Amino acid sequence: MPESDISDLALIRDAAAEAGRIALKFFGMEPQVWMKAGVSPVSEADYAADTYLRERLLAARPGYGWLSEETADSPERLKARRTFVVDPIDGTRGFLSGGDEWCVSVAVVENGRPVVGVLDCPAKNEIYWAEEGKGAFLNGKTISVRHPAETLDIAGLKATIKTLPVDIRARVQEFRHVPSLAYRLAMVARGAIDATFVKANSHDWDLAAADLILREAGGAVIDPWGEPLALAGADPRHGALAAGSGELLEEMRKVLSHGNA
């Protein structure tokens, strides 16, 4: 069947899986690394996966826009009805250090909202996906956010966690650092942790697929005013965010609204 005839979800699932296999060829090796703006690493593995995804996905959907961490942005994408939002390796630092919490992140965004999203995490043999209105899945099984318990696992900046109300803070077990933001959000979606703060200056490509997966699992990523993400606009950057569910998420939002991030 021509790829023009298959669904967007089937297309990006298959493409993300192949991009993951490409990245794995470099995993545990010593790929060439450059520093973007002097602070953020990018490797030949990132570029190889990005090139594959761009060529395959745009060949299948030539009318879609393209927004990727590793591709120079173009305002032409703003004319498209739908846009691929891609991070070929989310968690590059962890990838380069030999950690397994990294993933290929691919989403399709329409009117500012992701409508399908995939996180392929080949070093952990985990594949997350979601389609708007149809639930979230990990390796084919439905996932959902964690029910409140006596103790709370919250990831993110420790200084921000310490500004939560005293009664909540007393229940918190600060969670270890997870280098991939997308994977951290997937952990919230599958109930491995309760929530996470997201420091300012995350980008659409870090968030798009995981945002949909978390939303379909019963949670949300919100800004200090409680608004959901608006994606694939002119500026891909975001301010401080909170991700989780229920009353805890509202308390986290209040912390952000007071500038404690």
Predicted confidence (pLDDT) per residue in 154-202, tens digit? 999 899 999 999 999 999 987 888 999 999 999 999 999 999 999 999 9
Q: Which structural domain, as residue segments, surrounds residue 50?
A: 3-142
Q: For the segment 118-167, what is each residue's pLDDT rounded down to a tens digit?
A: 999 999 999 999 999 999 999 999 999 999 889 999 999 899 999 999 99
Q: Which of 69-73, 209-213, 256-260 has maximum average pLDDT? A: 209-213
Q: Tokens 């990727």 correspond to what residue? A: 68
- Residues forming the annotated binding site? 69, 87, 89-90, 206
Domain endpoint, select from 82, 113, 142: 142
| Domain-ending residue, one of 95, 120, 142 | 142
Domain identity same for 7 and 93:
yes
Q: What is the number of domains present in the chain?
A: 2
| Residues annotated within a binding site for Mg(2+) | 69, 87, 89-90, 206
**Within this chain, do residues 157 and 138 fall inside the same structural domain, yes or no?**
no
Range 88-114 average pLDDT: 95
Last residue of a domain, one of 142, 164, 188: 142
- C-alpha closest to that of 53 among 85, 90, 94: 85
**pLDDT computed for residue 174 by the predictor:** 78
Q: What is the mean pLDDT of residues 28-37?
A: 74
Question: What DSSP state is assigned to residue 69?
Answer: T
CATH number (domain holding residue 225): 3.40.190.80
CA–CA distance, 185 with 121 (Å, rounded to integer): 13
Classify residue 42: in a domain, yes or no. yes
Q: Which amino acid is at 93?
A: R
Q: Are residues 99 and 160 in the same domain?
A: no
pLDDT score for 30: 73
pTM above 0.85, yes or no: yes
CA distance 103 to 19: 10
Same domain? For 137 and 182 the reply is: no
Query: Is residue 261 scored above 70 in pLDDT?
Result: no
Eight-state DSSP code of residue 228 = B
Q: Could you tell me if residue 147 is inside a domain?
A: no
